Structure 1
Amino acid sequence: MSPKSDILEFEIEVDCEYLEDQSKPDSDQFVFAYTVNITNTGEVGAQLLRRHWIITDANGKEQEVRGDGVIGEQPHIDPGETYQYTSGAILKTPLGTMEGSYQMQSDTGLEFDAPIPLFSLTKPGILH
C-alpha cells in the first residue's frame, strides 16, 4: 500500500470537568480535567508522536503548548482501537477553550496531523 492510498482517519472526542476542590477562584486559578478519546477509524495504524494545544482564556490570552506524546506516552493506535488519557489545564478565568492537533506517523511512515476540535472549559453556573 502506498502512502497516497493510506486511509488515515482519527476521531477525537474530549470530555471536560471543572475541579472545584483544586481551584482557587479568589486567586484566579480555575482547574479543569479533560479526558481525550482518540479512535482510529481508518485502515492503517499510527503512532502519536507530538501534541500541539492552543489554550485560550475568557480574556483572550492564548497559551501554546507543544511536546512529545501525551502524559509521557507515544501510543500506537491500531485500526478500530481507542486510546484514552486524562490530563489537565489551569486557567485564570472560569471559562476558556482548547483546540489543537496530534502529530502522528502512520505504519507506512507518513506523518500527518490529526486535528483536535475546539472544546470549552467551563465552570458550572458560569453560562446561563
Structure 2
Amino acid sequence: METAITHNIKVTVTAVYQPDYSRPLRSEFVFAYQIRIDNLGKRPLQLLSRYWLIWDSNGSQREVEGEGVVGQQPVLYAGDFHEYVSACPLQSDIGYMQGYYVMRYLDGEEEEVKVIVPRFRLQTPFKNN
C-alpha cells in the first residue's frame, strides 16, 4: 500500500496481481489496483482528469491521460472519500505506475490543483528481487 497527501487530499493505492486474467507464457500480466481518495480538507472539489505514467520492466513506458476515473468525475466534500478499482496490463511480471489527478475546487474559486498518485509497484507474487 502506498499513500500520498497533496493539497489535503490523501490518495492510497493497493495493487494485486490477477492470475486468472494473465497469460505469463505470452508475456501478458494483469494487475488490479484499488484507489481511495480522501478529502482531508474543508473545501469541496471535483476530480476532472487523470494522468498515468506506466513503466514495464521490459523497458517500455507509456502515458495515459483521460477524463475522470473509470467513467466518473466524483465530487468530494470535506470528509468524503471515493474508491474505485481499475486494472493495468503489463508485458512483464514487474513494473510500476504513478501519476496525478487534476481536481477543481467548487467553492466559488475556479482553482485547479494536481493531486499526486504515489508510485506503486506492480509485481507478480512469484517474482523475487
Please report the TM-score for the alignment, with normalisation by the length of structure 2. Answer: 0.91
Counterparts of 1:103-118 in structure 2, within 5 Å, are 103-107=102-106, 108-118=109-119
Count of residues in Structure 1 that have an aligned counterpart in Structure 2: 122
1:19-98 residue pairs with structure 2 within 5 A?
A: 19-98=18-97
Q: Residue deviations 1:4-30, cap 9 Å, x none?
A: xxxx41010001110001000111100
Q: What is the CA RMSD across the aligned residues, in angstroms? A: 1.3
Instruction: Give the AA of the match of 1:15.
Output: T
Partner of residue 17, structure 2: 18
Letter in 1 for 2:128: L
Point out where structure 1 has 5 or more consecutive residues left out of the alignment.
1-7
Gaps of 5+ in 2: 1-6
Q: Deviations over 1:33-86 (max 9, x none)?
A: 000000011110110000000000112311100000000000001111110000
TM-score, with structure 1 as normaliser: 0.91
Mapped to 2, the partners of 1:60 and 1:111 lie a distance apart of 33
After superposing on structure 2, the runs of 4+ consecutive aligned residues of structure 1 that deviate more than 3 Å are none
Q: Which amino acid aligns with 1:105?
A: R
3-state secondary structure, aligned to 2:25: helix
CA deviation after TM superposition for structure 1 residue 105, in Å: 0.3
Which residue matches 2:8? 9
Kindly, what percent of the aligned residue pairs are identical?
A: 36
